[in-house]
């Protein structure tokens, strides 16, 4: 990863509390995300902070780790009765806030613009993977058979 992109990632991670607060506020004010309003700010913040506060880690993480984290997120949101569209929109908000912060922090030099574009590309690819695997985890939880006598879904295994 180029040094200038790494510097921008460090800046994002250093300001993660502010970015996470903006994400939670946006979720709270978007009527399309009413299903998430039942969660307290701490729960919403925890998930966003895991992505924003550890962005550098996630952008260099191995595919199996991203796959496991994302599929688990999808399964958990299904079990919490969060509609798939709300899960996808909430992740899109996180992505947009990350990119928006990066754009706001650039002063306009060619090198900084390149760093922002490089970061936007990496973040975009990462979130494409997260969205795919979160939806896959969600769908596997939805199609898992119930454990007899409990009304609970059995966790499906993934390949």
Q: Give the helix, strand, coil percentages of the chain, each rounded to 5.
A: 75, 0, 20
Q: Specify if 150 maps to a domain.
A: no
Token pair belonging to 145: 């058979």
**CATH number where 29 lies:** 1.10.490.10
Q: What's the mean pLDDT in 19-45?
A: 96
pLDDT digit string (tens) for 72-85?
999 999 999 999 99
Q: Specify if 152 maps to a domain.
A: no
User: What global pTM score does this model have?
Assistant: 0.86
Cα 32 to Cα 1, 14, 57, 90, 97: the distances in Å are: 36, 30, 30, 10, 17
Residues 6+ apart with CB under 8 A from 109: none
Q: Specify if 78 maps to a domain.
A: yes
> CA 159 to CA 156: how far, in whole Å?
10
> CA 38 to CA 22: how far, in whole Å?
18
Q: Specify if 58 maps to a domain.
A: yes
Quote the percentage of the chain above a pLDDT of 90: 70
Q: Specify if 56 maps to a domain.
A: yes
Q: Specify if 65 maps to a domain.
A: yes
Q: Specify if 156 maps to a domain.
A: no
Residue 115: give the domain boundaries.
Answer: 3-143
pLDDT: which is higher, 135 or 149: 135
Number of structural domains the chain divides into: 1
């Amino acid at each position: 990863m180029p040094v200038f992109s790494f510097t921008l990632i460090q800046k994002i991670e250093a300001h993660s509390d502010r970015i996470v607060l903006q994400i939670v506020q946006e979720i709270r004010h978007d009527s399309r995300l009413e299903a998430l309003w039942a969660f307290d700010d701490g729960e919403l913040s925890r998930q966003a902070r895991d992505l924003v506060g550890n962005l550098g880690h996630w952008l260099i993480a191995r595919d199996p780790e991203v796959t496991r984290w994302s599929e688990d997120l999808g399964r958990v949101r299904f079990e919490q009765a969060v509609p798939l569209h709300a899960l996808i929109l909430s992740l899109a908000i996180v992505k947009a806030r990350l990119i928006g912060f990066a754009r706001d922090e650039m002063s306009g030099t060619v090198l900084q613009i390149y760093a922002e574009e490089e970061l936007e590309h990496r973040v975009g690819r990462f979130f494409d993977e997260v969205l795919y695997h979160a939806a896959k985890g969600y769908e596997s939880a939805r199609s898992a058979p119930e454990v007899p006598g409990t009304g609970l879904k059995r966790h499906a295994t993934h390949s």
